[in-house]
Amino acid sequence: MICELCGKETTRTDPVQIEGTTLRVCKDCSKFGDQAKQGAKEQPNKIIIQSRLENRERRMKSKDVYESETVNELADDYPERIRHAREQHGWNQEELAQKMNEKHSLVQKVERGDIKPDDVLVKKFEKTLGVSLMEKVSLVKPEKKAVAGKGLTLEDCIKTSKK
């Protein structure tokens, strides 16, 4: 199940009224539901919800709560970041692979975006290249994640049908 507000995988979702729209959200996001009382108008407009939540987030920035409102994620442009950092060091893919004690083909695939490196590998890239591949992502970005999720499913379908 995927939370319609933050896009997080979650075991259960609850329907919550937000700005006159009912969204099925995770436990973390269900607390946003109380805002529905302020804007009782029927306005299923995600942009309004988003800006409202961003304002809320800004207000909470000083508190600890803010931490739970963002997650560290692999940046979308990680292939570019790796390639760019590698070129800055003047290394080719093979040299980078050697420094990381990994296979050349792995570096190649990650740079092409064919492989999404796991946490351990990300750390390795970051350490070797001296860059950050992670990005603080606000949980108030459901569209992007939803699209990425769909893309993966589609890809999986293609892979399966090719077999």
State which of residues 5, 18, 23, 129 lies at the interface with Zn ion (CB under 5 A).
5
Q: Which is nearer to Zn ion, 26 or 49 (CB)?
A: 26
Q: How far is the CB of 119 from Zn ion (least distance, A)?
A: 21
Helix (H) or strand (E) segment spanning residue 111:
helix 104-112
The verdict on 110 binding Zn ion (CB under 5 A) reads no
Q: How far is the CB of 133 from Zn ion (least distance, A)?
A: 24
Q: Map the footprint of Zn ion across residues 28-57, applying CB under 5 A.
A: 29
Q: How far is the CB of 144 from Zn ion (least distance, A)?
A: 14
Q: Map the footprint of Zn ion across residues 13-32, applying CB under 5 A.
A: 25-26, 29
Q: How far is the CB of 127 from Zn ion (least distance, A)?
A: 31
Nearest to 69 by CA among 77, 81, 58: 58
Q: How far is the CB of 18 from Zn ion (least distance, A)?
A: 11
Residues in binding contact with Zn ion, number by CB under 5 A: 7
The verdict on 137 binding Zn ion (CB under 5 A) reads no
Q: By 3-state DSSP, what share of the chain in percent is helix, strand and coil, each rounded to 5?
A: 55, 15, 30
Cα angle: 115, vertex 11, 154; to 5 degrees: 40
Cα angle: 103, vertex 108, 110; to 5 degrees: 100
For residue 127, count CB atoms less than 10 angstroms from its CB and return exposed for 0-12, middle for 13-18, buried for 19 or more.
exposed
Nearest to 6 by CA among 35, 37, 34, 27: 27
The verdict on 140 binding Zn ion (CB under 5 A) reads no
State which of residues 3, 16, 122, 140 lies at the interface with Zn ion (CB under 5 A).
3
Please state the φ and ψ torsions of residue 96, each to the nearest 5 degrees.
-60, -45
- Kindly list the residues in this chain that would bind Zn ion in the complex (CB under 5 A): 3, 5-6, 8, 25-26, 29
